[in-house]
Amino acid sequence: MSAGQRRLDIEQIGDVTVARFIDKKILDENNIQVIGNQLFGLVEEDGRKKIVLDFSNVEYLSSAALGKLITMDKKVKAAGGKLRLCSIRPDIYEVFAITRLNKLFDIRDDQDAALNGL
């Protein structure tokens, strides 16, 4: 995978995989496709079961990106794993709340809270 295609910063903390989004704005369809593929690969190819998605860099998120997150959640649950989201800005969290996705996802304030008890 070329560096130009990389949209996630992956870090392994114990048995938990932390994926930090590199882009501030996740709007472009191609980028969303790449992000989706990289996220799905963590579960399907790498067999990761405990995943934290860190949104600390993200300022904008499109509805297409939300679709990828929903699919990711299904894949992780199907694999018997756990997915947590963290560090979501209030204005982005509002979108999760309006769409009721805050009920679907396990959302924590920060990475430490997300890692705790995972």
pLDDT for the residue numbered 6? 86
Q: Are 85 and 53 in contact (CB under 8 A)?
A: yes
pLDDT for the residue numbered 100? 97
State the Cα–Cα distance between residues 68 and 87, nearest whole angstrom: 18
State the Cα–Cα distance between residues 107 and 86, nearest whole angstrom: 6
- The CATH superfamily assigned to 3-115 is STAS domain (3.30.750.24)
pLDDT for the residue numbered 3? 44
Which pair of tokens denotes residue 50?
Answer: 């405990």
pLDDT for the residue numbered 5? 80
Q: Are 37 and 24 in contact (CB under 8 A)?
A: no
pLDDT for the residue numbered 32? 96
Instruction: Point out which residues pair with 26 in neighbouring strands.
Output: 61
pLDDT for the residue numbered 39? 97
Q: For the chain, give the mean pLDDT.
A: 95
pLDDT for the residue numbered 4? 53
The pTM for the full model equals: 0.94
- Residues (pLDDT < 70) of the chain are 1-4
State the Cα–Cα distance between residues 76 and 81, nearest whole angstrom: 5
